[in-house]
Amino acid sequence: MDTAAPARYLSVFDELLARREEHIRLCAGGGKDRISELPDDLLHLVLRRLDTRSALATAALSKRWAHLHRDLPALEFRVTDVIPQSDRYHWYLHRRRTLGERRRPVRDSTLNKFDVIIGRYERHAMRSLASSVNSLLDADNGGEARRRYQRMILEVFPTHNSGYMNRLIATAIADWEVQDLEVTVLDTTSSHNGMGYRFPHHCFDDTMFPAGCSLKTLKLTNCTPLEAVAGGELQPPRVFGSLTVLVLQGMPRSTRNGVYEGVVHACPRLEVLHLRSCSFREKSLSIDAPCSPVKELLIDDCDIDMVYLRSLPRLERPACVGGEPVEFSFGAVPRLASLSLSFYADVNERTWYTTLMGMRNEYPLFNFLNRLPELDSLMLRLTGPERWLVPIGLKADSPLSKLRRLLVADMPSSWDLTWTRYLLEAAPALETMHIHVASGTASPGRRVAWPPAEFKHRALRELVIVGYKPSERQHEEFVSLMRSTCVALRDVALLERGHVRDKGLWDWELMT
Amino acid sequence: MAAATDDAGDSNEMIRVVSSDGEHFEMPEAAANLSLVLRHMIEDDCADAAGIPLAVVAAKPLAKIVDYCTKHAAKSSGLTIEEAEELKRFDAEFIEVDTDMLYDLLVAADFMGVEGLSKLAVQRTADLIKGKTPEQNRETFGIVNDFTPEEEEEICKENEWAFQITKPPSRLC
């Protein structure tokens, strides 16, 4: 080998060589245990690829490894990882669920037997978790090298003994400076009724976090973030002081509206609020938070009828997806620019209300589109076996005067396209209209009367219909109506095949 | 020993590299570009007929790395699904090596700045460790247990979460 490398080589290699001198020395050693000789940064890379349990287990290899795991990106405590004989547990759980779903009623005593067995497995796993968490926290009192984790995940079964969980969460936030916390309370059987878990605010006091708390993202599943506070008069808890993203999932039916509104008040930096599969005691959500910086609100598959956004001055993107049409009342939301709505309804479904009133299960468009003067982009996914929109336009005083882009996606083939006239009429500035008709054999149903010939739309330039069927007379008619109504229409694309690719919840792209 | 001089580089110039123990290797420029260090050397006009000396990489791992880079450079852009899968299979076979070679690859890939290979070797190391008892891992990697029994007990207690056995106590059965 040409060992006398010219000086110009050395200048390039210099820094790297200096950094790697250690390697050369180690390579020359030729010891058998070569992995322990790797520099810390490489071993950290390896540990980062391990699950928490495997990473913690490396501590017992040798002294070299004992403290390496104190700096990991994530720490996960999932109780389901330590269920004894998890195959059997899952078999019991599966049987319990299928029994519960049977049409023929199963005797309560049979179900109880299953619940008792499942409960034993779960309690055993929870005792293992409790003991492990306590051991880990106790070891820290010895003053060893400081731990640093960016993320912590805690998954538990409902329990009466939550002391160690409180202690873990408090340590994670206050000492380890965890930025991203996820707490999931699993609810496998109904036997856990009444046992909930609340975020342990009592473990933090106001003198903590003088420089601000590290917690940025919090995801709680079946776990209460705070007590409902009337009017949000309470001083916001310091531990939520830096929180920017909050996800609440699977909140029980007993949750009061005040809890949801309360968290918006309690988190002065909150920008993103996601509610997933949550239940609402009053079946409605109301937010009146004139000081809140919330920009993004997602209501996903929640059991809810009404949403009152009374005041959210920074709100830019709300979305409501899944479930029956939700009625929206928009108050002071001056920055609301993008809206995404996705609803399903069956017109023939019989509820106590439709039966009592002798009506079909139908909804007017103005239920969820009203008073949105700043709206720029709208995404609608309205589905169901038959069109459930009442043929009435938006209220005259609430046009979507700045709406430029519109997507109507997943439209069932049984819906006629003509109902989109109400959107066209309400949005005089609309430039782009994308319609995606879902594949299906059903022919379009009842048409909606087209506005009189005097009505002209003067802004629409681009119309794209994906899933267009040339053989379908109503499709053809719709296009010719559009051509005569929209005087500025330049680009018309009628595509038989294609789909919509979502770019996040509020933007899209049509793919062919 | 010219480990990999296939037609991958077509019009590309061949880059010569020299291992720490003096062996010469050649690879297409596109392959050499996968290594951050080599790319910088080439950009700085330091690649000449004598070859770029790699002071910390021995011939054995260097042969593997040249192999890896040549394969990946030939298939770098516009992969079809089949090609991507073939590359995956190549990677999986490529990294089936003993711990000595794995160690050499970890160090060499990190030193040469071959990102893909570095990730591959780190993942392989993690896969070897995953789900094993400390005793099994000590055996795999030849790690010597230098704890006193008391220290070992203490460290196992601290990290009890890792050792929670999932065998049931008898009354659950």
A170 has a pLDDT exceeding 50:
yes
Which residues of chain A have a CB within 8 Å of the CB of B160?
131-132, 135-136
Domain count, chain B: 1
Q: What is the average pLDDT across A161-180?
A: 92
Residue B160 placed within a domain: no
The distance of Cα B138 from the centroid of its chain, to the nearest Å, equals 20
- At A205, the amino acid letter reads D
Over its C-alpha atoms, chain B yields an Rg (Å, rounded) of 21
Q: How far apart are CA A510 and CA A436, in angstroms?
A: 9
Name the residue among B45, A280, A434 with its Cα closest to residue B29. Answer: B45
B167: which 2 tokens?
A: 């065998």
Distance CA A141, CA B72 (A): 50
Query: Which pLDDT score, from 0 to 100, does residue B93 have?
Result: 92
What's the whole-number mean pLDDT along residues B84-108?
A: 90
The pLDDT of residue A3: 42
Q: How far apart are CA A21 and CA A102, in angstroms?
A: 69
CA distance A354 to A346: 12
What is the dihedral sign for C-alpha B41, B43, B44, B48?
A: positive
User: Could B160 and A136 be called an inter-chain contact, meaning their C-beta atoms sit closer than 8 Å?
Assistant: yes
Nearest beta carbon to residue A23 from set B107, B122, B151: B107
Q: For the domain that residue B13 is a member of, what is the CATH number? A: 3.30.710.10
Determine the residue of chain A that is closest to B160 in CA distance. Answer: A132
Per-residue pLDDT reduced to its tens digit, A77-106: 999 988 888 888 999 988 888 887 777 777
Task: Enter the tokens of residue B109.
Answer: 């890939």
What gap in Å lies between CA B47 and CA B38, rounded to an integer?
8
pLDDT tens sequence across A454-488: 899 999 999 999 999 988 888 999 999 999 999 99
Token pair for residue A167? 């202690």
Indicate the DSSP class of residue A420.
G
Burial of A119 (0-12, 13-18, 19+ CB in 10 A): middle
Note the pLDDT of residue B108: 92
A401: Cα within 13 Å, side-chain hemisphere: 6
- For an interface test with A, the pick among B161, B171, B172 (most A C-beta atoms closer than 10 Å) comes out as B161
Q: Do A132 and B111 touch (CB under 8 A)?
A: no
Question: Which amino acid type is present at position A361?
Answer: N
Residue B61 forms part of a structural domain: yes
Q: How confident is the model at residue B3 (pLDDT cuts 50, 70, 90)?
A: very low
**pLDDT at residue A164 is higher than 90:** yes
**How far is Cα A316 from Cα A403, in angstroms, rounded to an integer?**
14
CA distances to A24, A41, B98 from A121, in Å: 52, 40, 40
B55, B126, B151 member nearest A50 (Cβ) = B126
Nearest beta carbon to residue A1 from set B20, B110, B168: B20
Long-range contact set of residues A503-508: C-beta below 8 Å, sequence gap at least 24:
A505/A298, A505/A317, A505/A319, A505/A321, A505/A340, A505/A379, A506/A317, A506/A319, A506/A338, A506/A339, A506/A340, A506/A377, A506/A379, A507/A338, A507/A377, A508/A379, A508/A407, A508/A409, A508/A434
B56 contacts chain A (CB < 8 A): yes
A121: nearest CA partner in chain B: B172
Distance, in Å, from the CA atom of B102 to the CA atom of A129, rounded to the nearest integer, reads 35
CB A150 within 8 A of CB A74: yes
Higher pLDDT, A143 or A272: A272
> Average pLDDT in the A371-396 region?
90
Which residue has tokens 């891992």? Answer: B137
The pTM (predicted TM-score) of the whole model is 0.83
Helix or strand or coil: residue A431? coil
B150 domain residue, yes or no: no
Give the distance, in angstroms, between the CA of residue B137 and the centroid of all CA atoms in the same chain. Answer: 19
Query: What is the 3-class SS of A74-118, one letter each residue?
Result: EEEEEHHHHCCCHHHHHHHHHHHHHHHHCCCCCCHHHHHHHHHHH
Which range in A250-254, B81-85, B127-131 is most confidently predicted, on average pLDDT? B127-131
From chain B, the residues in CB contact with A133 under 8 A are: 161
Contacts of A105 (CB under 8 A, 6+ apart): none
Q: Is A292 helix (H, G, I), strand (E, B) or coil?
A: coil
Provide the residue range defining the domain that includes B28: 7-129
State the smallest CA–CA distance between residue B26 and chain A in angstroms.
15
> B54 to chain A: nearest residue by CA?
A13
B135 located within any domain: no
